Structure 1
Amino acid sequence: MNQHIFIVGNSFQVKSLAESLLNKKHPITIINNDMEFCKELSQIDNMTIVFGDGDKRYVLEDADIGKCDIMIAMTDNDADNLVTCLMAKKIFNVKKTISLVSDVKKTAFFYQMGIDSVVCTTSAITTIIEQQAIMDELATMIPIGEGRVRITKVKVSEDSPIVNKALFDIALPAQSIIACILRGQSSIIPRGSTKILADDMLLLVASIEDEIAAIELITGKSYD
C-alpha cells in the first residue's frame, strides 16, 4: 500500500516533488499559505490542497493528518519546519518526518529533537559542487548507515587501469566491493570472472575509509 505523504511548503520544489510522488501512486496532501499557489496546485488531479499554515495544529487537523504516513516540511523558515515536524510526530504520531533546513549548523539539533530525516540545501549543493569539481567520474554518492558506508557510481574510462580485467584480478581495498555493473541497458551482478569494460558504470559500495582508495584504483587518478 502506498504511503500518504503530506508536504508543507510554498515553492516550485513543492510542486515538482508532489508531481513526482503522484507519478509513483502516493496519495499527496499539500498544505500551503499562499492562496494563489493553492489555486495553481488545485489544477493537478488527485492531489489534496489545504490552505493554511502547516505549523498550526488546527490546520493539520483540518487536513486530516491522521491519515498521514510521511510529513515533509520544506518552507523557507527552519523554525516553522521544525514545529510542523514535531507536531506531526509528537501529537499526531506520524511515522516519519522529513525537514528541510537552510543552515547546516541546525542539522544535528533537528535530529536531536527527533526529526527522522534532515535535508540541508546548502550542504547538499556544496557537496555536489565539490564532487563535480574533483571527481568527474562520480555520478552519485549516497551515504548509508549514518554515513559509515557510501554507494558511489564510478564511470570506467578507456584508460582506466582495470579495463578488461576480471574482478578477481582487481585488488580492491578490503572494505569495498563492486556490487553491480551498469553496461548499456543491462545491469550485471558481477562474479569473480566478470570482466570490466570501458564505459561501464560501476556501483561501488565502500566504507568511508576505503572509498577514495577504491575510486583511485578504478580511475587511475589521485584525489588527494
Structure 2
Amino acid sequence: MRVAITGAGAVGRSIARELIDNGHQVLLIDKSPSAIRPERVAHAEWLLADSCELSSLEEAELDKCDVVIAATGDDKANLVTSLLAKTEFGVPRTVARVNHPNNEWLFTEAWGVDVNVSTPRIMSALVEEAVSVGDLVRLFTFRQGNANLVEMTLPPESPYVGTPSGLVPLPDNCSLVTILRDGQVYTPTGDQPLEAGDELLFVCPTEIEEELEALLSPRDRRS
C-alpha cells in the first residue's frame, strides 16, 4: 500500500516508521526545508513541497496513493490537504490530525476527511475507559458508516453476567466484536459466558448507545 504523509514532524515520522515496519511504501511531504531529513526515516520517500498546493500534490503523484494522512500541526493545512486528496486525486482513504478540539466539527466528509484523529478526544476516552465500570465509552467514530466503536467494562451487577454472549438481546444494528479478559483477546463465539470485569467492544450507531448501556448496566442514572 502506498501512503502519503503530510507533515514530517515527530508525529508524521513516527507514523511513517510504523507503516514502513508493516511493509508499506511511504512518502513524507513537508514544506519546511529544515524538516526534510531523510536520515530520520531512511526507507521513506521525501518531498519538499506545500501539500496545500495542487501542483505539489501532482508532483507527489497522489493519484497513485491508497491513503493520505494529513498530520501537520496546522488544522487548516490538514483540511485543505484532505479535500484536495479526495476531490482532485480520488484518494480512497484520508486520515486527518485534529490539533485543536474546537476545530473537530470541521473534519468531516464535506472536507474530504474519512477519519479524523483528535488527540485530546482519544486521551479522554482512554482515561474514561480505564476508570469507568458499567459506563459506555466511545473510543472511535467510523465516519462513513455512521457507527462508533464503544467499550464497556461489564459490572458485577449486570443481569447478563454468566449469560452466553449469543443470548444477550443486543439492540438491532449492534455487534459485539471482541471480549478482553485477563489480558487476552477473545472472539465472541455465542456460547461463551460473559464475566464481570470483561471489557466488551461493540460497533453500533450513536442513537442506540444509551439503549445498549441501559441493557448491560441497568441502574438509576438520575443520581
Instruction: Indicate the residue corresponding to 1:206 in structure 2.
Output: 204
> Match for 2:79 among 78, 82, 86?
82
Instruction: Indicate the residue corresponding to 2:189 in structure 1.
Output: 190
Contact kept in structure 1, 2:125 and 2:137, CA below 8 Å:
no
Contact kept in structure 1, 2:152 and 2:200, CA below 8 Å:
yes
Q: Distance in 1 between matches of 2:221 and 2:174?
A: 17
Superposed structure 1 runs of 4+ greater than 6 Å apart: none
Instruction: Indicate the residue corresponding to 2:107 in structure 1.
Output: 107
Q: Which of the two has higher C-alpha Rg? A: 1
Instruction: Indicate the residue corresponding to 1:51 in structure 2.
Output: 48
Superposed displacement of residue 175, structure 1: 5.1
> Match for 2:93 among 87, 91, 96?
96
CA 131–90 in structure 1, closer or farther in 2 if over 3 Å, else same: closer
- Computed over aligned residues only, the root mean square deviation of the Cα atoms, in angstroms, reads 3.4
Superposed displacement of residue 32, structure 1: 1.1
Q: Distance in 1 between matches of 2:149 and 2:15?
A: 23
Superposed displacement of residue 20, structure 1: 1.9
Instruction: Indicate the residue corresponding to 1:129 in structure 2.
Output: 124
Contact kept in structure 2, 1:42 and 1:49, CA below 8 Å:
no
Contact kept in structure 1, 2:114 and 2:144, CA below 8 Å:
no
Contact kept in structure 2, 1:31 and 1:51, CA below 8 Å:
yes
Contact kept in structure 2, 1:147 and 1:208, CA below 8 Å:
no
Q: Give deviations 1:37-93, integer Å, cap 9, x for gaps.
A: 322x53323111112322234433443444322222232333333333344344444
Deviates further, 165-174 or 155-164: 165-174
Q: Distance in 2 between matches of 1:59 and 1:213?
A: 48
Unmatched segments (≥5 aa) in structure 1 = none
CA 126–20 in structure 1, closer or farther in 2 if over 3 Å, else same: same
Instruction: Indicate the residue corresponding to 1:32 in structure 2.
Output: 30
Q: Give deviations 1:5-55, integer Å, cap 9, x for gaps.
A: 11111432111221222222111000112333322x533231111123222
Q: Distance in 2 between matches of 1:47 and 1:56?
A: 21
- What SS does the aligned partner of 1:71 have? strand
Aligned residue type for 2:70: A
Q: Distance in 1 between matches of 2:115 and 2:198?
A: 33
Q: Percent identity between the aligned chains?
A: 23
- What SS does the aligned partner of 1:25 have? coil
Aligned residue type for 2:187: I
